[in-house]
A = this chain, B = another copy of it.
């Protein structure tokens, strides 16, 4: 930064002056407002490419599939935070999003990344049949097992046999011509994994979401971001309900009244 040169800050997102607001190179007021949905804008902002109608339908479906899963730890944390700090809705949403890490929301990202490592350099796979994908799935899983890696996207604590979202997401992507290499490989993993890992697990909804987002053209580094965007809508639903019909006080009371003091937790480290 030379003494008399201002640092410049480049951006391709938006600019404004006294009379105009430009977003992604387009006139926000004259061109965009009223003519695109929020989901379409979210895709566009993340990729700097406007989605095709097919890409948008898959993207919307994935966001819908990820928006809520009932009383998750993150929904409970957001509700407890609103109970403690009712003056700060942004704090409650932020607290809920902060649980969007490796254990729950991370599956979407991890699955996309895991699949991408195997398909990134494949070239044209348009002519591949199921047997070809099964072969790739087998070698991918065998390598992962050999390296002691967990295989993301397999299994679910509640949906132990079938996750109801999975088949529907495959069908939507297929209808839209977007069942690409990530979804094809993921589907093949569903077929071949029992003989490799020794038990049969369902392909889960968070995993298929990651595969579908990758085939719909979304960047891998942001897959967790889309899970967080979807979850923001779910958290607003939970907080709206908490304002009307709170569970925060009962969660607090349930834990606090059933607390037991354990001096051996104390001893064990001394």
Contacts and interface: CB of A to CB of B under 8 A. Distances in A.
A99 B236 CA distance: 17
Interface in A10-66: 10-25, 27-30, 32-34, 36-39, 41-42, 45-49, 57, 59-61, 63-65
Given A17-B158, A255-B251, A71 B9 contact: yes
A122 interface: no
A240 B47 contact: yes
B222 A239 contact: yes
A39 B233 CA distance: 9
B68 A86 contact: no
Interface residues of A, number: 140
A90 B80 contact: no
Interface stretch (A129-137, A163-171, A193-201): A163-171
A63 B38 contact: yes
Given A33-B165, A232-B232, A263-B25, A269 B70 contact: no
A112 B260 CA distance: 33
A93 B12 CA distance: 19
B254 A7 contact: yes
B236 A45 contact: yes
Given A74-B80, A254-B7, A255-B251, A269 B49 contact: yes
Contacts of A255: 9, 71, 76, 247, 251, 254
A164 B45 contact: no
Q: Is the interface of A mostly helix, strand, loop or mixed?
A: helix
Contacts of A60: 36-38
A121 interface: no
A60 B104 CA distance: 28
A168 to B, nearest CB: 5
27 contacts: A6-B258, A9-B251, A10-B262, A10-B265, A11-B247, A11-B261, A12-B262, A13-B68, A18-B158, A19-B159, A25-B263, A37-B38, A41-B64, A42-B233, A45-B237, A45-B240, A46-B236, A48-B269, A73-B80, A76-B251, A84-B105, A88-B91, A90-B105, A93-B225, A98-B98, A225-B236, A244-B269
- Listed from nearest, the 8 A-B pairs whose CB atoms lie closest are A85-B101, A45-B237, A84-B99, A12-B265, A29-B164, A94-B94, A91-B98, A42-B233
